[in-house]
Structure 1
Amino acid sequence: MHRSFATLSRRTFLAGLLALGLAAFQQSPALAQTDPLPSWNEGAAKTGITQFVQRVTTQGGSDFVPVEERIATFDNDGTLWTEQPIYFQIAFAADRAKALAPDHPEWKTEEPFKTLLEDGIEALAAVGEKGLLEIVAVTHSGISTQEFSKIVLDWMQTARHPRFNRPYTDLVYQPMLELMTYLRANGFKTFIVSGGGIEFMRPWTEKIYGIPPEQVVGSSGVTEFQIDADGKPVLIKLPKVEFVDDGPGKPVGINRFIGRQPIFAFGNSDGDLQMLQWTAAGSGARFMGIVHHTDAEREWAYDRASPVGRLDKAWDEGIKRGWTIVDMKAEWKVIYPFEKQ
């Protein structure tokens, strides 16, 4: 998960194009489409994306990139779905702690659980990073990976966002769904590279984003192989951090789990800065994008001062280096898929 405080259907009109096969991506420029990004307003961001894809997919062009090297990485929280007013994984951990509380009467007097149980999720800022990590450790361990996956999926079915009163998976960004579909239709492999927990994301990312679990890179806890009481092999989640995929951890995670340097990367906060820098450091054509939250009416407006998804140093570097900074209010016709209904 993030070190700072607090985590639909996809468009299908490109499906027929996929039948052209991989060879088509190696022999021709970006596939012709009426409008691959219909939820994006015409402007610098949309043009920059489509022109970049055109350049790297044009056979014989100076910027042509072979299919196997077309790697695109996306942060999750605040880049692919909403992250306010609290990271969704923290909301999950809080709900999980409340469900476990009857078995832990000591939590009525022990912090950080006392604050959570008495004052609710809104008070979690007061417990600090140490307290949040303790809540996550308790609620994310002591069970098998299969059990945890089921708990996550059950929560996604029943939990509702406090502002929109919708399932959290409804709060994914329609323009980014279109972007990932467009990239995949042009031979890119799309990865999530997030500070969120890998076991929290993997159960649902394929259904929601079209990104299979093996293409999800995230923070992880230690797991241990055991034989359960029925003689069945299981992986048990332990209350110990193995890897933090945030900030400088993101390039490390990309190298460790993907093995190729991205040519396309999107983030939204300072936690994504090093991933964007690592992408920019490669040779040849590169695209670095930042989602800037500027729409308080439809979503939220925040950047430098926000404790959730702070955009400060990455914003400055993006401006300095000419990265694509997407003004959500100005450049997205819709934000969520349900706005189209």
Structure 2
Amino acid sequence: MNRTLSPLVTWRWLLALLTVLPLLASATEPLPSWKDGPSKKAITQFVAAVTEEGSKDYVAPAERIAVFDNDGTLWSEQPMYFQVLFAFDEAKRLAPEHPEWKTTQPFKALLEGDKETLAASGMEGLMKILAATHTGISTEEFSARAEAWLAKAKHPKSGKPFTEMVFQPMLELLDYLRANGFKTYIVSGGEVAFMRTFAEEVYGIPPEQVIGTTFVTELQDQDGKLSILRQPKLLHNDDGPGKPVSIDQVIGRRPILAFGNSDGDLQMLQWTAAGDGKRFMGLVHHTDAQREWAYDRESKVGKLDKALVAAKQGNWTVVDMAKEWQRVYPFEAPQP
């Protein structure tokens, strides 16, 4: 017996289909928060080339190493590097235990909100604050303090937790690469123990694949209780030329893909580009003043000048955040 669907049933079926189809498309489409454009095309073509067996560009899974800067590449870095904001908050929290800071710079300027004097103290002043808040304690104690801060601190502009100020397109890129046999590493100027407190949960990158700036440490034995004590002396500055050095020491393989966003990533990108075979070098260009920030050559945080020139000369991929990302953060709706 022939049966026909009523108009109401037909309408409901069509409505359900229209609802499901976008979900199916997003489930199969790689990098859904990336607009169809030059950067997405370059990424997918590169991954296809190095993962297709029999291809002249094929790379064995063991050699599919991808390295990413953190600040400004995987999460925002304005109005100041998030770890510096942590150090400032820690110094204020610890101030009652250090009455001498009331008369000692740069702590005096920090506690009094004297931004000009604090800025004038430069890198030397910042290192004093970092040493006071990051060392003299065990690795376990430092990690606990960092986790406590990340659990309650809010970004000054968005009001969101700092761990939500991550870039949705880059999270998708990390997943996409791992699904295609890549091993993903963070190689950042940030301090390694600080990044390890959130990298696995936020990025899916385990602690052993997080490389960063390190302080001198030593084994401490207090009545049979062992711990790793953090000393107020810098062991390795993982920025600029320090990045290829740490990649060589820790990973032992040259990456075939590298992503950064500033001149501090230039040597890491150059080191990647200098290898044999097909390579991918990418820069996140902060061009979106509405959803994030717009800055490059004149910025005091995440300055992008020499690396931008090198990218154009080397035909690297420069991601225009405003034009190529449907959304920036996981908590925002994608653009139409």
What's the CA shift string for 1:176-195, capped at 9, x where partnerless?
00000000000000000000
Give the Cα separation in 1 of the matches to 2:310 and 2:255: 18
Q: Does 1:314 align with 2:307?
A: yes
Secondary structure of the residue aligned to 2:233 is strand
User: Is the 8 Å Cα contact of residues 94 and 121 (structure 1) preserved in structure 2?
Assistant: no
Give the Cα separation in 2 of the matches to 1:80 and 1:203: 15
Question: Sequence identity, in percent?
Answer: 62
Give the Cα separation in 1 of the matches to 2:160 and 2:103: 33
Given the alignment, which residue of 41, 49, 55 partners 2:43?
49
- State the partner residue of 1:127: 121
Alignment of 1:124-163 (within 5 A): 124-163=118-157
- State the partner residue of 2:277: 284
Stretches of 4+ moved more than 4 A in 1?
Answer: 120-123
Given the alignment, which residue of 209, 217, 227 partners 2:221?
227
Give the Cα separation in 1 of the matches to 2:197 and 2:179: 24
Report the alpha carbon displacement of residue 69 of structure 1 after superposing the two structures with TM: 0.1
Given the alignment, which residue of 324, 327, 340 partners 2:320?
327
Report the alpha carbon displacement of residue 124 of structure 1 after superposing the two structures with TM: 3.6
Report the alpha carbon displacement of residue 123 of structure 1 after superposing the two structures with TM: 6.3
- State the partner residue of 2:172: 178
Given the alignment, which residue of 194, 202, 205 partners 2:188?
194
Report the alpha carbon displacement of residue 36 of structure 1 after superposing the two structures with TM: 1.3
User: Is the 8 Å Cα contact of residues 91 and 121 (structure 1) preserved in structure 2?
Assistant: no
Matched to 2:184, the amino acid is T
Given the alignment, which residue of 260, 264, 270 partners 2:253?
260
Pair member with larger Rg: 2
- State the partner residue of 1:208: 202
* Inter-CA distance 152–183: structure 2 relative to 1 (3 Å threshold): same
TM-score (norm 2): 0.90
- State the partner residue of 1:98: 92
Q: How many residues of Structure 1 are paired with residues of Structure 2 in the alignment?
A: 309
- State the partner residue of 2:333: 340
- State the partner residue of 1:115: 109
Q: Extract unaligned runs of 5+ from structure 1.
A: 1-32
Give the Cα separation in 1 of the matches to 2:194 and 2:262: 20
Report the alpha carbon displacement of residue 142 of structure 1 after superposing the two structures with TM: 1.0
* Inter-CA distance 301–307: structure 2 relative to 1 (3 Å threshold): same
Q: CA RMSD in A?
A: 1.4
Report the alpha carbon displacement of residue 224 of structure 1 after superposing the two structures with TM: 1.0
Report the alpha carbon displacement of residue 228 of structure 1 after superposing the two structures with TM: 2.2
TM-score (norm 1): 0.89
User: Is the 8 Å Cα contact of residues 74 and 265 (structure 1) preserved in structure 2?
Assistant: yes
Given the alignment, which residue of 268, 290, 296 partners 1:275?
268
